Amino acid sequence: MIDSEGYDLFPEFADVFAVAKKNGIEHIFSAQFLGNAGYQGNSLASRSAPADIPGINGDYADALHWEGNLYQSFAANDARRPVTFVTQMTSPVDGKLYTLAKPQFHKYYDESVVGNQGNPPKICRS
């Protein structure tokens, strides 16, 4: 049992990674950082974004999760799986829905900076 001290679990798993909920009730220890501007800061968002969808500037650098069977380790009905991974994305340029060849790690992707994942706003992750 958690002795509250103001902490609790978010009602939704996705809330843990939501920029709008930084330093929230579930964040016991959080690091605040800026995007990867000038090769300094966080590069998780751009590494988590696909590279072959128009208007999304990712690089698939985290694709090793596939070889390590991380996606496959989640049960199909696990509510964390669609938060952690994405299998389809809509292009902000042409509006088309693209199906990814392999599920892509997604929980650090910031929808507010789709065209520039290398410079997301100040975010926190725990």
User: Tell me: the pLDDT tens digits for 54-105?
Assistant: 887 776 655 556 777 888 899 999 999 988 888 898 888 899 999 988 888 7
> How does strand 123-125 pair with strand 31-33?
antiparallel
For the segment 14-65, what is each residue's pLDDT rounded down to a tens digit? 888 887 888 888 888 877 666 555 555 566 666 667 778 888 777 665 555 6
8: helix, strand or coil: coil
> Tokens 């789709």 belong to which residue?
114
> If DSSP codes are grouped into helix, strand and coil, which group holds residue 13?
helix
pTM: 0.68
pLDDT, residue 97, reads 95
Amino acid identity of residue 16, one-letter, is V
Both tokens assigned to 47: 């590494």
